[in-house]
Structure 1
Amino acid sequence: MSDHTIKATSRNVEGKGASRRLRRSASIPAIVYGGNAEPQPIQLDHEKIWLAQQNEWFYSSILNLDIDGQVQSVLLRDMQRHPFKQIIMHLDFQRVNANETLRAKVPLHFLNQDTSPAGRSAEVVVTHELNEVEVTCLPRDLPEFIEVDLSALKVGDIVHLSQLKLPAGVEIPELKLGKEHDVAVVIAKHGRVEAAASDEGAAEDDQQ
């Protein structure tokens, strides 16, 4: 697990007016909650966070939140953005207990698709049904991403949730809910079949 440190400063003044003043000074109002401590209002440097949030790890990794020199382990739980400006309006962080199982969404990294039998065929359409998956694990076991090796993928193949290779200590809670929750992650379809189905649908619409 990589070391990702985010620096922050505590703040005492709350409310919409105080938050607006923070944003005008290129800072982001935020809150840290959870664990055995009270929620703590903080502020962060907008430019540094804007750069950090362009990285995948910002959303799926345990962050070391340095508040006035005191470091807490946290996960990003919510980010509010301005509807059209490149401005982060607010952040929510949840404290993480090293000895308690957590639930988090982890991105999927698809490998070797272009060199697979399906990927090399111009007649095959490969779709990624999921780009992330929710997992449960201890904080120390949380992966930044999960690799999905598609080197053997061929037309007609479906990669299901249960086929993902998970790191030690990591589970997918969805799979405990029954076989119907073992959803498709990747599907390799024949493009001509898909096109023919679309043409048939269009023809039926014309006849109605």
Structure 2
Amino acid sequence: MKVVAFTREQQGTGASRRLRKAGQTPGIIYGGAAAPQLIAVDGNAIWHALKKEAFHGAVLDLEIDGQAQQVLLRDFQMHAYKQLVLHIDFQRVDASQPVHTKVALHFVNAETSPAVKLSGAVVSHVLNELEVSCLPGQLPEFINVDLSNLEAGGSIHVNDLSLPEGVTALTHGQNLTVATAAIPAGVVSADAADTPAAE
């Protein structure tokens, strides 16, 4: 995905307010060998870009004054009630250096899992994103969580996920729970008659 930005000379609350009134969002790029750089981006374009899942986890091509560099979205601030992005931060990435970022999880095959199909269980998504480490070129847009073998009362953990090549989950030594399947109170099936509902 591509982002077009412009060099911003002035800083401070007043300058940022003037930028926003002109339809632009102030921001900054940092990281790498270069010094942090103040930028401005089109406010409307950034508002719509932030609605796209891929914008939050993908390596972006940021063009400033005709020169492109690769960055990751690191932070942004929204107005409390207006359709307005107040500020946005990007971090430069080096193609040869691993990046640490969060990737969205997509849950698939819930309707065919034994938990749902046979037991009427409810699948709860404990995690919706996963912190990973990989080279920028290997960063996936999302990671699938296959629920097709999930049994009632069972759960899926990070170690059960099939991660793309070169991608490592950063769980700090914990095998975090990704999803669980619990039978709602009052629902009893042939498979679940002897299985207590998950707390």
CA deviation after TM superposition for structure 1 residue 110, in Å: 0.4
- The letter for the 2-side match of 1:21 is R
Deviates more, 1:160-169 or 1:120-129: 120-129
Normalised by the size of structure 1, how large is the TM-score?
A: 0.87
What is aligned with 1:184?
Answer: 177
CA contact (8 A) 1:123 1:192 kept: no
Q: Give the alignment of 1:57-96 within 5 angstroms.
A: 57-96=54-93
* 1:150 lines up with 2:147 in the alignment: yes
Say if 2:125 and 2:180, in contact at 8 Å, map to a contact too: yes
Q: RMSD of the alignment, in Å?
A: 1.8
Could you list the per-position Cα deviations for residues 90-112 of structure 1 after superposition, in whole angstroms to 9, with x for gaps in the alignment? Answer: 00000001111110000000011
Give 5+ residue unaligned stretches, structure 2: 188-195
Q: Does the 8 A contact of 1:58 with 1:76 survive in 2?
A: yes
Determine the structure 2 residue equivalent to 1:10: 7
Aligned to 2:101: 104
2:26 corresponds, among 29, 36, 44, to 29
Deviation at 1:116? Answer: 1.8
Higher helix share: 1
Q: Partner residue of 1:172?
A: 169
Shift of 1:122: 6.7
Tell whether the 8 Å contact from 2:119 to 2:183 is kept in structure 1 after alignment. Answer: no
TM-score by length of 2: 0.90
Gaps of 5+ in 1: 198-208
Q: Percent identity?
A: 48
